[in-house]
Amino acid sequence: MAKKKSRKIGALLLSLSAVSAYWAWKQSQQAVLKPDAIPEAQARRLLAQAAPKLRLPTSPEQAPEVLADGSGLCCPVTGRVYPYRDGILYLLEAPPDKTFTQQALDTPFTAWAYDRFRQTLTRAFNSPDFAVEAAEAQQTLRVQAGDVLLDLACGQGNFTVEWAKRAGAEGLVIGLDYSLAMLRRAVYHVKCWGLDNVMLIHGDAHHLPFADEALHKVNCSGGFHQFPDLPQALREIARVSAPGAVLATSTFAEGPDDPRASLKRWLKQKFALHFVPLVDLGEQLTALGYTEYAWSLPGSGWFGYASARKDKR
């Protein structure tokens, strides 16, 4: 009898938790789905600042033109307009085939849940919290006033906001992600912080919309393990990075003689969640012209850090 009563209480608490989570999500969605319009002057300034570094899919050799009203970019070859609305520049030609993990994160509810409970998830894996991750990346990136930085796979924008605060009014942080649900949350966080130096782009890490050697600082926190074709993404990062550019990344990772290697490979097979072999990553980056490669797999050995610098030639 006592067990039956206990199960009923447990079911009731679970139902109440689900209702509370749904209510919290619905409340938060109002600000996410209906963001305040970006002032026209600010939109024009951001687009003009980013345009020299950007390349549209229809004109990969020429910089795009900024529309006079700040509503987007125009292809100088075809005249096609790529819109900039609700704080997002839409440069993804066709959505890529998404892995299970990518699909799971690209919904309004899961994007909210990831945003809200990310710290809980990192603690579950005994991984460092956000402040530690940011400090680790900053040791490599050394973001300072006036910098231009790409935050690749920016997700809900937590690192984007961190770098934008450091880059200041004269700097520019470009956050790029394939997930519109995540980008909309990034817009929300950028506005909450009152930042006007962030350009958010709907794009694909496998086909980056940037000119060759356009960037000097690239951050990718929690992205490498989600890329279906990491070698292709690395080639793109190398292509758009200038000589001497730095790369900082954190990812679910695998070390040499990893005691959890079998489990990690099973997770990759079942859920397309890659655990990036950190030694192999260094070999790939070296082949792409990077030096000063360093990596670590602290704590429980699930989440790793890596950094490198592109050879100055």
pLDDT at 265: 86
The mean per-residue pLDDT over the stretch 193-199 comes to 97
Task: List pLDDT tens digits, range 7-63.
Answer: 656 556 655 555 555 555 555 555 565 667 889 999 999 999 999 999 999 999 999
**Looking at 52, 85, 118, which one is the last position of a domain?**
85
Q: Is residue 27 part of a domain?
A: no
Strand 65-66, strand 72-74: pairing: antiparallel
pLDDT at 269: 79
CATH number of the structural domain spanning residue 180: 3.40.50.150
Q: Is residue 95 part of a domain?
A: no
Whether 115 and 232 map to the same domain: the answer is: yes
Whether 110 and 49 map to the same domain: the answer is: no
**Looking at 85, 114, 149, which one is the last position of a domain?**
85
Q: Is residue 1 part of a domain?
A: no
Whether 171 and 280 map to the same domain: the answer is: yes
User: Which pTM value belongs to this model?
Assistant: 0.85
Number of independent structural domains in the chain = 2
56: left (phi over 0), alpha (psi -120 to 50) or beta: beta
Q: Tell me the residue range of the domain where 116 lies.
A: 100-310
**28-37, 142-151, 179-188, 221-230: which has the minimum mean pLDDT?**
28-37
Residues in the chain: 313
Work out the end-to-end distance of the chain between its first and last CA atoms, rounded to an integer number of angstroms.
76
Whether 123 and 47 map to the same domain: the answer is: no
Task: List pLDDT tens digits, range 198-216.
Answer: 999 999 999 999 999 999 9
Amino acid at 306: A
Provide the 3-class DSSP secondary structure of residue 203: coil
Q: Please, are residues 171 and 148 in contact by the beta-carbon 8 Å criterion?
A: yes
Structure tokens at 8: 């009923």
Whether 280 and 232 map to the same domain: the answer is: yes
Whether 243 and 281 map to the same domain: the answer is: yes
Whether 116 and 246 map to the same domain: the answer is: yes
Whether 147 and 58 map to the same domain: the answer is: no
Q: Is residue 131 part of a domain?
A: yes
Whether 109 and 223 map to the same domain: the answer is: yes
Query: Rounded CA gap, 59 and 62, in Å?
Result: 6
Whether 189 and 235 map to the same domain: the answer is: yes
Q: Is residue 133 part of a domain?
A: yes
Q: Is residue 205 part of a domain?
A: yes
What are the start-end ranges of the H helices in 168-272? 180-192, 230-240, 261-271
Structure tokens at 77: 């070859």
pLDDT at 153: 96
Q: Is residue 79 part of a domain?
A: yes
Task: List pLDDT tens digits, range 290-312.
Answer: 999 999 998 778 889 999 999 98
Q: On the CB side of 78, how many CA atoms lie within 13 Å of its CA?
A: 10
Task: List pLDDT tens digits, range 119-130.
Answer: 666 665 556 678
Task: List pLDDT tens digits, range 249-287.
Answer: 999 999 998 888 888 888 877 777 789 999 999 999 999
Whether 110 and 199 map to the same domain: the answer is: yes
pLDDT at 65 over 90: yes
Q: Is residue 173 part of a domain?
A: yes
Whether 157 and 78 map to the same domain: the answer is: no
